[in-house]
Amino acid sequence: MFGLHPSSRFKAAAAAACGALIFLGAGCGGELDVKQADRSTATLFYERCSGCHSLESANSYGSKPVGELSGGERTNGPNFNVRKVSRDDALYAIRNGGFSGAIMPANIVVGADAERLADFLDEYSGNGNSASNE
């Protein structure tokens, strides 16, 4: 046999990736830093909203990169580690496509999904985690 067994090579790579994530203050191995009951909502946020918004509780980093003060892509939405949004504001944004209606698509999620995402943001946004930037 030459070198490492493929599966141990994979483990080494995974460990290295985890180190990088810990450095950013996030969990590792897909662990989300939320209550068990909120995990599926964190996953929903990750699937639907993480392209444009950051929220560590949902392992999402779609807002402007840390340290980038101007510019960025037009689709970079507010960073929810920093920005606190209430349930009502979140529902409004989801239904209308943000507050301006210009960039964020309206109704990415609807009905009960929209409600639980709004509750999720009400609880987890604005917690000021380390890897944050507006």
77 forms part of the interface with ligand HEC (CB under 6 A): yes
Best CA proximity match to 16, nearest among 4, 5, 3, 29: 29
Which uninterrupted H or E stretch holds 60? strand 60-61
Q: Which residue, 86 or 130, is less far from ligand HEC as judged by CB?
A: 86
Cα 67 to its chain centre, rounded Å, is 17
Among 8, 40, 75, 130, binds ligand HEC (CB under 6 A): 75
Query: What is the spatial distance between Cα 118 and Cα 5, in angstroms, rounded to a whole number?
Result: 46
Site for ligand HEC contains 82 (CB under 6 A): no
Q: Residue 118 is inside which H or E element, if any?
A: helix 111-124
Q: Which is nearer to ligand HEC, 26 or 126 (CB)?
A: 126
- The residues of the shown chain that bind ligand HEC, judged by CB under 6 A, are 48-49, 51-53, 75, 77-78, 83, 85, 89-90, 93-94, 98-100, 102-104, 108-109, 117
